[in-house]
Structure 1
């Protein structure tokens, strides 16, 4: 059986499973079938509920874009031809728990062909939190990534009212994330909570 057919069969089996009563009514397939919002906002599926995020700010997009270069440089330096750093792809986190996310950046272990990808393809997910991301939403997404078995998760946020950023790199232990690296200051830093060590400077992500 081909990998694509195995994934389709597994997804159908998961969709047939009765969800927890606290999980919302919407499915992964419904999420995938949604048209792209015309205003540039994004829609994610979090435990069966649609969550609409306004169009990202320029500062947010700059940080996301500038993350790609150090990732690609680190992948190249490690001689890895099986890893791909990609911005804003749809990921089918869990059909059973009805989670479909659009991480800001991912490192995948397969070529980024197609419109959406299984959680198994992710070696690292990066979420750049915006003020509109509530604490409950952040915690729910982190829990879902952990249950899906994504081995590394980075979260990036503003340091209160300061212009700088804070990056927290998590490594999966069992079914929970543990903090592996926390970066709060400018200067080259090597983050080891990743499929390959990534050296970056937080100062490059802001203007």
Structure 2
């Protein structure tokens, strides 16, 4: 059984949580998280002293190609370590990003609602196209890369294999979707985009929510190991996204309760 020690400080709208987990994985795991339900955790080096990992997105002005690069060394923890950790009882998500653990609070209600509605939209599109070989799931553990020591939990994913087992593999992913809110850091978004691109996931969507939950969506297609933006759409009128296993037509307004 993993033993954990936690200390929590709350002040000025921020919470800091430090854990040391050991025995099951044979290492000490230090995790820092900042924020609340809409202020997800930041990437940090789990080895003391704790520091922020330096990951920044690179965008090409005047174009639509987005390259997400991670500029920090790969951390000490592996996908096997990630598998060995026990589920967190509070429902928070523990991901492994370039060898560093990242913990985020449980999704807010409007965050979860957007993911559930998008799953329904994608499922209907797949059925209409007769793609019974593809499956839409939410919040599953996914082994992105053992070499890059990355394992993520996309908010929505389209799989090319039956959703059976503990975790999916990068080769099973046709589309991944991340729902982000104003509290999500650029570092977190860049690192996840880099991970999905490096793993060869063909399509990647980002649903961006404002503080009231209203959503816009940006769809990317993988080309030459980079994600190329196809479109960004807000609520109010139907759009058709072709950066997907099948064309998907819907109004992003349905993602807001």
Deviations 1:50-99 (A, max 9, x none): 00000110010110111111111100110111100001111100000000
State how far apart, in whole Å, the 1-side matches of 2:219 and 2:194 are. 15
1:137 pairs, out of 176, 188, 192, with 188
Is 1:147 the counterpart of 2:192? The answer is no
User: Match of 1:190?
Assistant: 240
1:199 positional shift: 1.5
Structure having the higher strand fraction is 2
SS of equivalent residue, structure 2 residue 75: coil
User: Match of 1:156?
Assistant: 207
State how far apart, in whole Å, the 1-side matches of 2:76 and 2:212 are. 40
Structure 2 unmatched ranges of 5 or more: 1-70
1:131 positional shift: 3.5
2:148 pairs, out of 80, 88, 97, with 97
Q: Which runs of 4+ in 1 moved over 4 A?
A: none
Contact 1:53 1:132 in 2 (8 A): no
SS of equivalent residue, structure 2 residue 227: strand
SS of equivalent residue, structure 2 residue 123: helix
Report how many residues are paired: 187
2:108 pairs, out of 43, 57, 60, with 57
Contact 1:45 1:51 in 2 (8 A): yes
Provide TM-score, normalisation by structure 2. 0.70
Structure 1 unmatched ranges of 5 or more: 1-19
User: Match of 2:256?
Assistant: 206
Structure having the higher helix fraction is 1
Is 1:175 the counterpart of 2:225? The answer is yes
The structure with the larger Rg is 2
SS of equivalent residue, structure 2 residue 244: coil
